[in-house]
Structure 1
């Protein structure tokens, strides 16, 4: 049946041109070229006045007088109207009462699955599972509309940019209908028909599941699971022989084999098939991602400055080292957030502001100078250097600085006042009577201030 693909039209432009007997206008659509021909009629590429492209199917003149073919064509149009969802080409217009009945569906760009595999080889397990999941999900919508496709095969699946689409419902039938024509022969494509279709039994959604299993096997092997041969040979194999699945990816072989079970009751439902194929597609895609080489981290990904040093340090605290590189004794009781530091030797107590009480009469010593070795500060006296803040600068003790500043100012003022007082006292004493008067005043207590 029709394979209206952009690639086929571009490669076979000369062969797909309109013939002399082909119409140029059908309904409100102008025809441009042939897309394909099948048992019921010819499919053309057309467009409406707005430029919307359509695939327009017209019944052959010799079949337009056959009421059975008219009825089959009407069923195809009815099926297309009932199906909802993006799994099929949307019906645009139809005329079932014309001398040559026709209907137009949305044009689906992209190659058929048959052409894709024939031109590029078998698909990967992940791609097969992804396509199969979308198709089985689409069949759920088809079956919910009470329709069985009955001719699902690689050439009736178009791989559009928005996902696979099922086309050609020319022999679609209501669920439970017989598959035999008026002469007692089965309709469909040998190698993709279900056994019940060959026997003439009623069709069910499981019929399309069998065809989908054969289609997925073709996608993985570039061949039908029942080989090649005449129609009679192929139909016999479908009914009596097991499918050949050599070459099918191991992840998909058990599920495809279940779809090709002879008994329809043993096949999975379309919903079960969709869910299972989604799981396989996700797992296979993850497996492909795992074998890719890791992407190297670039320098902007790493922190800079002191943050980079902290980022690279392990969680365990490193023991500080002296300037000579020898490990220093551990300090006990210190917290990671800059808590009190106990005595490390020498009998000295912590200074004010460190969080510990100072002894009476003891004065805090200024912090000793340190030398930097690598990215870690090491004290010259052998003590661990205080931690630095996030900016890389050494944190100061505001309380200690204020105390030192106050002591310095008070001492300076007292010295200045003492000098001024001494000079002031000596000046008047010399003016009143010299050194003798001063000595007398001191002896008599005139210049003494408690």
Structure 2
């Protein structure tokens, strides 16, 4: 993150923090690099003087800071301290070393499919914690994603939206930031976690393309495209394009949840890291069918059939498997002896019947020869 020297009008000490450098300026005020007595570094934002006099802004700012305190998770910049009653309210978050996603892509080009999916999975998991705390970021974009050595971090949790002003009035934001707003935000409708999903989809498309999926142009042109035109995802890796397209659906109800998005991106990141090709729809259906448990065989049987079927199955399990036909034709041991006895018995019966017939025939012939002369 680029740092600048302090200007003459900049404070040197705010609360318990000593300020060292300027980190940037935005619609709310100036962000400084500071540290406490223990050497812990923070990113400290001091509100602009004109906003400090706006009581409505102070109330909204207080609500946002209170919500930010509830956020837990490793993918966010933790809130360290804040003073809502100061003449110029301020808050300090954990300092995250590393470039923003916007600067990383600008200087080194787009990310690979595996890198984009890994960054997206971590960010989606971070958004799960944000939404569970009752917070909607409302301004997720590449310049609000910091790539630290420990992974990506989300900063500026919607506080810039506390004024009710459009992000178009921001100073120093990345060119094309209107292309990262959800359609319902452009229309002035209520925001939900699904709005963050849209913004994350546009942010990941930027990481994979090196540009907003809605191109470049004036603020009015960009906002019109977000509401009325489909995103241009030509060039996005095929492993990511279908998922990002669902994130960029115009209707919030058609977008995946942050949990679903996190799990799907983790799968893609693991597969791309191993170099495994993306399965086709037919393959996914086949795998799904193969993994489906078989239907029970007696699901519709009448009462008592289950017990009979179980008993039959138990008896069948005790049966010995039938030997092959060749093995059955080669009896051995006692079976061979029984077969021999049966053959001998048949032979004796045959001899007895034959002898009996011959004797009977001889007697008949003898009687015929002794008849009257």
TM-score (norm 2): 0.70
| Maintained 8 Å contact 1:55/1:106 | yes
Residues 1:123 and 2:106 aligned together: no
Q: Using the alignment, how far apart are the partners of 2:49 and 2:72 within structure 1?
A: 31
The residue correspondences of 1:31-430 to structure 2 (distance < 5 A) are 31-171=19-159, 181=164, 189-287=177-275
Change (3 A) 1:235 1:186: farther
| Maintained 8 Å contact 1:186/1:200 | no
Displacement of 1:181 after TM fit?
Answer: 3.2
Structure 2 gap ranges (5+): 278-373
| Maintained 8 Å contact 2:79/2:93 | yes
CA-to-aligned-CA distance 1:231-272 (integer Å, 9 cap, x gap): 111110000000011111111000000000001111011000
| Maintained 8 Å contact 2:138/2:158 | no
RMSD: 2.2
| Maintained 8 Å contact 1:54/1:107 | yes
Q: Using the alignment, how far apart are the partners of 1:101 and 1:203 within structure 2?
A: 26
Displacement of 1:170 after TM fit?
Answer: 4.0
Q: Using the alignment, how far apart are the partners of 1:182 and 1:136 within structure 2?
A: 26
**Does the residue aligned with 2:178 lie in a helix, a strand or coil?**
coil
Match of 1:293 in 2: none
Q: How many residues align?
A: 272
Match of 2:6 in 1: 18
Work out which of the two has the higher radius of gyration on C-alpha atoms and give 1 or 2.
1
Q: Using the alignment, how far apart are the partners of 1:278 and 1:29 within structure 2?
A: 39
| Maintained 8 Å contact 2:24/2:31 | yes
Displacement of 1:60 after TM fit?
Answer: 0.9
CA-to-aligned-CA distance 1:66-101 (integer Å, 9 cap, x gap): 123223322331222010111211111110000000
Q: Using the alignment, how far apart are the partners of 1:169 and 1:149 within structure 2?
A: 5
RCO (CA 8 Å, sep 6+): is it higher in 1 or 2?
Answer: 2
Structure 1 gap ranges (5+): 10-15, 174-178, 290-450
**Does the residue aligned with 1:164 lie in a helix, a strand or coil?**
strand
Match of 1:298 in 2: none
User: Which portions of structure 1, spanning 4 or more consecutive aligned residues, are displaced by more than 2 angstroms?
Assistant: 170-173, 179-183, 185-189
Q: Using the alignment, how far apart are the partners of 1:53 and 1:149 within structure 2?
A: 24
| Maintained 8 Å contact 1:85/1:141 | yes
| Maintained 8 Å contact 2:28/2:160 | no
**Does the residue aligned with 2:242 lie in a helix, a strand or coil?**
helix
**Does the residue aligned with 2:46 lie in a helix, a strand or coil?**
strand
Q: Using the alignment, how far apart are the partners of 1:151 and 1:131 within structure 2?
A: 17
**Does the residue aligned with 1:148 lie in a helix, a strand or coil?**
coil
Q: Using the alignment, how far apart are the partners of 1:150 and 1:230 within structure 2?
A: 21
Q: Using the alignment, how far apart are the partners of 2:236 and 2:152 within structure 1?
A: 20
**Does the residue aligned with 1:110 lie in a helix, a strand or coil?**
coil
| Maintained 8 Å contact 1:186/1:198 | no
TM-score (norm 1): 0.58
Change (3 A) 1:172 1:264: farther
